[in-house]
Chain A
């Protein structure tokens, strides 16, 4: 018999939240845009170059995956609470028997894993149709890299989902957050293609470290991924507490 998530342990609450988000994500139209349409468009552009060897193609593929994954972080995970507010279920998400952070983390994790799996399927299908040989990093590097990316995306999801509650223009802000990382994140556009004074911006983006970790098998980049993710967690948790204070103590933020 399944125990009620409210009275059960944190692990069950986390799993149930992830499961709920998985079901919600399937009905979210942006999922198709971000995980099928956008990777198809970007792959159509980068596959124009036919002189790429299997290794270079593998690097491009990982860059496309991570670029599209950024879109998933901001729209799918970052929009978790914004959509809850629209549906009138925000207060139930944030204020229940379990810590609200746990619920959001579970839901962001569900969204991120769903996105990664869908993106991988789309990319594999495109490469099969294009019949281009591709050489990917070893399975251990890929497994560690994508596990790190899922955790980092979840941490960023907590941060963005909470931050976007503070504005009524969440959709416009989310749309504006997309391309700064596309350009300055060091993913598809190499850092040397942007002005030297702005290259440091990619250091703030965990996906940039994750790319270097997987593509160059660089442990130092792995450390960068861990540090940026830890920073997202710390800022996200602090912002969450501040948001709850505004809603419950100071009464200046609507939860419905």
Chain B
């Protein structure tokens, strides 16, 4: 293993350590897993109340993606915020691994947790709500959910970096999560969103969910996947620029961290 890879792997391992500090196994089992199951069940059942069984099926496909935001948005936002609060960001600034690369590596557990959430929903919520028939179909398109977990994690990290100098990180991360839920077409069809649907096009999951729906309907879906990749590229650029901006601010202002 090259030295650079070893350093990146160390940052990645740090990510797992801090993830399990936030979610020790007991807390993960007693709080996070029930939350994943019940949150997804709620939106699926609510869609059923509004539009019947077909709406439930429609929502299940989307909710498998949006429920990931528990990890890929809300909890990952805490990574840069904790660095700021603990005044440890300067260690990244003076380190060999760039702050951007270190934050990306530390985001890996959150993307993995997001995928575990999607797996849980598919294996438990889909059968419990009477959609067992969807399980094998959706399993085939799991790589698209993996892509969504990655794009969403990058987006969540960006929001965390941008909001970490202020007291508004809770508001920012929740707002971002709700924007994804409503504007991604996960529970509300995009055509009913009007002009807001266009705003959703630059958010993670919008094109990914559309790709899964198209694939299930035997329609072309490769372009939607490419669009999701493009949105991921947009957010990774934004993440890089926001970290670079924070580093520059810290240097210019002489602050030890980016708070």
Mark A residues whose CB is within 8 Å of B: 29-30, 32-33, 37-38, 40-42, 44-46, 48-49, 169, 172-173, 175-176, 178-180, 182-183, 188-190, 193-194
Are B178's CB and A38's CB within 8 A?
Answer: yes
B171 within 8 A of A: yes
Given contacts A176-B30, A180-B34, 4 further A-B contacts (CB under 8 A): A30-B174, A40-B178, A175-B70, A176-B35
Are B50's CB and A193's CB within 8 A?
Answer: no
A29 CB contact (under 8 Å) in B23, B51, B171: B171
Mark B residues whose CB is within 8 Å of A: 22-24, 27, 30-32, 34-35, 38-39, 41-43, 45-51, 70, 167-171, 174-175, 178, 181-182, 187-188, 192
Q: For the complex, give the distance between the alpha carbons of A175 and B23 in Å.
A: 12
What is the distance, in angstroms, from A71's C-beta to the closest C-beta of chain B? 11
Q: Nearest chain-A residue to B48 (Cβ)?
A: A193
Are A188's CB and B46's CB within 8 A?
Answer: yes
Q: Nearest chain-A residue to B38 (Cβ)?
A: A179
Q: Nearest chain-A residue to B128 (Cβ)?
A: A195
B45 CB contact (under 8 Å) in A41, A48, A189: A189
Q: For the complex, give the distance between the alpha carbons of A139 and B45 in Å.
A: 31
Q: For the complex, give the distance between the alpha carbons of A45 and B55 in Å.
A: 11
Q: Nearest chain-A residue to B163 (Cβ)?
A: A29
Are A180's CB and B46's CB within 8 A?
Answer: no
Are B32's CB and A172's CB within 8 A?
Answer: yes
A183 CB contact (under 8 Å) in B23, B42, B175, B181: B42
Are B171's CB and A175's CB within 8 A?
Answer: no
B192 CB contact (under 8 Å) in A33, A41, A48: A48
What is the distance, in angstroms, from B21's C-beta to the closest C-beta of chain A? 11
Q: For the complex, give the distance between the alpha carbons of A172 and B32 in Å.
A: 7
Given A169-B27, A172-B31, A183-B45: A49 and B38 within 8 A (CB)? no
Chain A residues within 8 Å of B188, by CB: 44-45, 48
Q: For the complex, give the distance between the alpha carbons of A189 and B41 in Å.
A: 10
Q: Which of A45, A169, A190 has the most CB of B within 10 A?
A: A45
Are A188's CB and B31's CB within 8 A?
Answer: no
Are B167's CB and A29's CB within 8 A?
Answer: yes
Sorted nearest first, the 3 A-B pairs with minimum C-beta distance are: A179-B38, A176-B31, A29-B171
Are B51's CB and A48's CB within 8 A?
Answer: yes
Q: For the complex, give the distance between the alpha carbons of A105 and B169 in Å.
A: 29
Are B170's CB and A30's CB within 8 A?
Answer: yes
Chain A residues within 8 Å of B38, by CB: 179-180, 182-183
Chain A residues within 8 Å of B48, by CB: 193
Chain A residues within 8 Å of B170, by CB: 29-30, 33
Are B34's CB and A176's CB within 8 A?
Answer: yes
A189 CB contact (under 8 Å) in B34, B46, B70, B187: B46
A-B contact list, 27 entries, CB within 8 Å: A29-B167, A29-B168, A32-B171, A33-B171, A33-B174, A33-B175, A37-B178, A41-B178, A42-B46, A44-B182, A44-B188, A45-B47, A46-B46, A46-B49, A48-B50, A48-B188, A169-B24, A172-B32, A173-B27, A173-B31, A175-B35, A179-B41, A180-B34, A182-B39, A188-B42, A189-B46, A193-B45
What is the distance, in angstroms, from A169's C-beta to the closest C-beta of chain B? 5
Q: Nearest chain-A residue to B41 (Cβ)?
A: A183
What is the distance, in angstroms, from A239's C-beta to the closest C-beta of chain B? 19
Are A45's CB and B32's CB within 8 A?
Answer: no
Q: For the complex, give the distance between the alpha carbons of A53 and B48 in Å.
A: 18
Chain B residues within 8 Å of A46, by CB: 46, 49-50
What is the distance, in angstroms, from A139's C-beta to the closest C-beta of chain B? 27
What is the distance, in angstroms, from B138's C-beta to the closest C-beta of chain A? 22
Given A29-B167, A41-B178: A188 and B30 within 8 A (CB)? no
Q: For the complex, give the distance between the alpha carbons of A182 and B167 in Å.
A: 28
Chain B residues within 8 Å of A45, by CB: 43, 46-47, 50, 182, 187-188
Q: Nearest chain-B residue to A28 (Cβ)?
A: B170
Q: Nearest chain-A residue to B196 (Cβ)?
A: A44
